[in-house]
Amino acid sequence: QPHCVIVILPLSLHLNAAGSGPVFEEQPVNTIYPEESPEAKITMTCRARANPPATYKWIFDGEEIDMNAQKSHYSLAGGNLVISYPHKGKHVGRYSCLASNKYGSVISRSASVQFGYLDFFSSEERESVYVKEGQGAVLLCAPPPHYPAELSFRWILNEFPTFIPLDKRRFVSQITGNLYISKVDASDSGNYSCIASSPAISKSVFSNYIPLVPLAERPIRKYPADFKVKFPDTTAMVGQNITLECFALGNPVPEIRWKKLDGPMPANHEVRMAGAHLHLNNVQIEDAGAYQCEALNSKGKDYHSARLSVEAVPEWVEYINNTEKGLGSEHAMSCEASGKPKPHIRWLKNGKPVNFSKKCGMYQCIAENRHGSSMAMLSCVSCAPTFEHSPVKRELAARNGRVVIECRPRAAPKPTISWSKDTELLHNSTRVFIWEDGSLEILNVTRADEGRYTCFAENDRGKANSTGSLLVTDATKITLAPANGDVKEGEDTALQCAASHDPSLDITFIWALEGQVIDLHKDSLHYERPLNGSSNGELLIRNVQLKHAGNYSCTAETLVDNVTASAYLLVRGAPGAPGGVRVLNKTEKSITVQWSKGADNHSPITKYTIQFRDAYSKVWKNASTWELGVGNRGGLFPWTDYEFRVIATNTLGTGEPSSPSPKDKTLDSFPVVAPSNVTGGGGTNGELIITWKPVEPLYYYGPNFGYILAFKQKLEQVWRYVTVSDPQARRYVHKDSSIPAKTEFQVKVKAFNSKGDGPYSTTAAIYSADDTPSKAPQIVSGKALSSSTAIFWWSPLNQSTIDGYEVRFWRPQRDPDERDHKVGVSYNENHTRLDGLKPDSHYYIEIRGYNSAGYGPPSDPLQIHTKRSPPKQVPRVTKKYNRQTVSISWECVKPQENEAPVDEYRVLYRKQGHSSGKLYNTKTLFIELPLRSDGNYVVEVRAHTEGGEGPVGQIEIQKTNINFFIFFPVSTYKLCFFIFLHLHLLNIFLNVSIV
């Protein structure tokens, strides 16, 4: 660690006693000025305590700022620097403040000024993202130019403020801003916008919408976990909170786990965002190392690891106070700092590099590295004696006791001290002493020592004195001392203590255990002081624990003196943990353990319990119980690491377990477990694939573990043998071009290690690989169904030789980035439908069979031409209500030159809120529909062409009432009124209209 010492030797500068050099109370801090800020100024703070008051200068990139320069943007407000109308090209840089008075100068830490900004996103339209359901998706945020680098990101769906909820399936990287969806489903359809926010300048911007279109796929395929967000090698500062990111795509949605590769995870870690974030709070040097994230689902795993480095700003190895020393004194100031990278130490005097030819002033020790700096100061003064800040005080002393009356004037150089009592000058004697620092000590105090005491101080700058007094009181005495005690763990007990004291003084009782004062408030669960008189200091201990045993001291204390009495409390309890657990000897399946006796806690130990755990389990298991200090554990696994611990028991209970023994391995032995689930098959022509489930490591039983594979054709007599040395291997491929296709083999597998071989597995029947299909399917026919779909048929191949078909289709004249399309079809199908084709386009289609050995030859290509696309014009629909019907009409849809002609119109009459209804076909531009009274209806009109249906035009049909038309002659007015009244009631209850 850097280490530097400076020694200030006696100097001869005469300064005012009441003065002092500058000491910073506020220093400039790093500032980011928003370029769009309405406040057209920047203020850099600087304030120093000084007498006389300090004057201030500012340094910009190593040069002093001229406050009086013409058209200057700079001004001072107290010690603060104000930059008016800041300009990015002129004012970006580092600033420091220089504070000065007649005692010297000090320079502040430097601070930077930077200009913050966040531009708007690009106005270019974002392209749609098409993703099959079940696959993963990544929507790129592409944040605009900005400063500082730190941004936070959120995404909205369709409209603000509908924010995307984040869970195991959806994740937003706070590094790139990208949105990741591990497995897309139909509900993800919509328009997405990225919001980028700069906390430093309090500004947010929105991107243009990105349409996400999930494509239906049945059945939905599953994919292994695949990391798309991987945290890089990272450097953090001590005390900082950091977040590491990992996120994977996959179906099923992957689970993410974290671990530290070179040690246990820090206690300050948190896993957040459904596993995607590892958050480390208050990072320390020991948290550095390699971290790994693992993503897994039922289809597979993915791993990523990177290193975390931890660095630190300089800190003093020992705390350094800012110091003021008197003229004529010597002082050594040691500057020793730690930090990462290693700090550089430098010294300043009056704000400039140290020049020891100069005299007294303000010294600064600065430790700095690329992350920051620490600073300490030293100044020197000269003055005549003064008691202004430290007069001699009034003191109290107990009879027969001791008292010290302090005399601490401020003076430089050091003054000569003398004392008087009343009018008598005092000299050193057997009871009275004047110390080197000027304090007066009196031993065996009596009533006769009461009086007024004066301290006289003098140096070559002047003289001064101060008077105090001494009052003698009665001594404090213990009248009831605590007695030794003996209790069991969990019981309650009390320790007595009482004292007499001078009635003019208050008394306090202080209890301590083994010299450490007991905090009654902090440990109120066990300790209590009853309120039973000011002279009684009894201590109650509730639910006594073993830790409460020891020497208790009761101190009766007044303002003047104190007296102490002690007693010992013995606590009996369950035994302490045994120690020194170690392995004495071992065999393949047993180990002998030895240990030493732990504390019996004043009750004899009756038994010991041995526990063990192996390298593959975190759970401790009971092995056996012993009364001696040696035990044997049998029934163990060969060549396995074990730990042991021991627990002691006595009549008062069972104690804590010992520390685990060092890990020790049993001796090796030959394997006894065979690999299981031996199977295989598949592959390419001339291959025999053998698979098995590996033996678990617990059953390796020795080093150099591997497998021996034995196989032969069913009718052969001689076995072939192959050795696989990887203990985790689960697959072997035997290649031999002479092996006939689909030949039955008998296969068995056994394990081996350095000690020998284990038993074989059961013999399995496995077939060699099939031949690839030798024939191509023959396409029978095919046609375009619309502008985007087609169908074709073929003659199927022999189903015993294929697992399915692959259909490939492409356009001969296509875009440069357009790829061939491929579709898988089941082996038992003889036709398929192709979707997503482009309208009015030539396509070639070919098909080939495949099996586990590979793909067969393709068919001759079939050429089709898709229909022209339907018109994009939306029919404009109108309505006209009649008595029992509604007339629906629409404008004629006129196709463009590249669109298919209209052959008819399709009219769907459906109830509002329903997807189905009655469908009408017509070649006219109108239709008469019946009115409905059971709710509101919708009429949808579409133009139909050979290329499909065009966009829908629709209109709403309101619910209707039943109308009765009744005519009455005028001459029957009274009868009419009577009928009208009854019909009015019908109108109220049956919703009947009357005209």
Three-class DSSP category at 980: helix
DSSP designation for 975: H
Q: Which residues contact 314 (CB under 8 A, 6 or more apart)?
A: 337, 338, 339, 343, 367, 368, 369, 371, 372, 373, 374
If one compares 971 and 13, the residue with the highest pLDDT of the two is 971
Closest CA to 368 of 340, 344, 341: 344
Rounded Cα distance, 273 and 251, in Å = 19
CA distance 654 to 648: 6
d(CA 571, CA 453): 52
The mean per-residue pLDDT over the stretch 598-609 comes to 91
Q: Is the pLDDT of residue 356 over 70?
A: no
d(CA 198, CA 117): 8
* Per-residue pLDDT reduced to its tens digit, 314-341: 887 765 555 555 554 555 556 778 888 8
Contact residues for 69 (Cβ-Cβ < 8 A; gap 6+) = none
Residue of 50, 47, 49 whose CA lies nearest to 26: 47
In this prediction, residue 8 carries a pLDDT of: 37
How much of the chain is helix, strand and coil, in % rounded to 5?
5, 50, 45
More confident residue, 676 or 368: 676
| Lowest-confidence region among 211-215, 607-611, 851-855 | 851-855
CA–CA gap between residue 170 and residue 196 (Å, rounded)? 18
DSSP H/E element including 974 = helix 973-990
Q: What is the mean pLDDT of residues 679-702?
A: 92
Backbone angles phi, psi at 491, to 5 degrees: -85, 170
pLDDT computed for residue 981 by the predictor: 52
Sort strands 790-795 and 831-834 into parallel, antiparallel or unpaired: antiparallel
pLDDT of residue 556: 93
pLDDT of residue 686: 86
pLDDT tens profile 137-190: 999 999 999 999 999 999 999 887 788 888 999 999 999 999 999 999 989 999
Q: Is the pLDDT reported for residue 709 higher than 90?
A: yes
Q: Which residues contact 747 (CB under 8 A, 6 or more apart)?
A: 678, 680, 690, 709, 710, 711, 763, 764, 765, 766
- The tens digit of pLDDT for each residue in 439-493 reads 999 999 999 999 999 999 999 889 999 999 999 999 999 999 999 999 999 999 9
Q: Which tens digits make up the pLDDT trace of 282-305? A: 999 899 999 999 999 988 899 999
989: pLDDT confidence band, cut at 50, 70 and 90?
A: very low
Contact 209, 271 (CB under 8 A): no
**Helices assigned H by DSSP within 871-955:** none
Distance CA 732, CA 477 (A): 92
Tokens at residue 855, please? 């793909």
Q: What angle do CA 261, 264, 268 make, to 5 degrees?
A: 115
Confidence of residue 853 (pLDDT cuts 50, 70, 90): confident
**Residue 21 main-chain phi, psi, to 5 deg:** -75, 170
- CA 820 – CA 323 distance, rounded (Å): 81
pLDDT beyond 90 at 730:
yes
Element (H, E) at 480: strand 477-480
Higher-confidence residue of 684 and 662: namely: 662
Q: How far apart are CA 627 and CA 858, in angstroms?
A: 82
Q: Which residue has the higher pLDDT, 241 or 371?
A: 241
SS3 of residue 982 by DSSP:
helix
Name the β-bridge partners of 956. Answer: 938
Asked whether residue 243 carries a pLDDT value surpassing 90, the answer given is yes
User: 876 pLDDT exceeds 70?
Assistant: yes
Structure tokens at 612: 């063990």
Share of the chain above pLDDT 70, in %: 90
Q: Which two tokens stand for residue 375?
A: 């600073």
pTM over 0.95, yes/no: no
Q: Mean of the pLDDT values across residues 516-545?
A: 88
Q: How confident is the model at residue 632 (pLDDT cuts 50, 70, 90)?
A: low
Q: What is the pLDDT of residue 953?
A: 92
Q: Please spell the DSSP secondary structure of 133-166, one letter per residue.
A: TTS-EEE---PPSEESS--EEEEEESSTT-BPPP
**pLDDT of amino acid 162:** 83
Q: What is the mean pLDDT of residues 86-110?
A: 90
- Judged against a pLDDT cut of 60, whether residue 946 lies above it is answered with yes
Q: What number is the average pLDDT over the span 818-833?
A: 90
Q: What is the pLDDT of residues 16-62, one digit of tens each?
A: 445 678 888 999 999 999 988 888 899 999 999 988 899 999 999 98
Least confident of 6-10, 250-254, 473-477: 6-10
* Burial environment of residue 332 by CB neighbours within 10 A (0 to 12, 13 to 18, 19 or more): exposed
Among candidates 621, 638, 643, which has minimal Cα distance to 673?
Answer: 638
The mean of the pLDDT values for the chain is 87
Low-confidence winner among 648-652, 795-799, 981-985 (lowest mean pLDDT): 981-985
Q: Determine the average pLDDT of the residues in 765-793.
A: 91
pLDDT at residue 972, as a whole number? 43
The arithmetic mean of pLDDT across residues 604-612, rounded, is 91
Residue 7, pLDDT score: 36
Residue (of 959, 890, 887, 879) closest to 928 by Cα position: 887
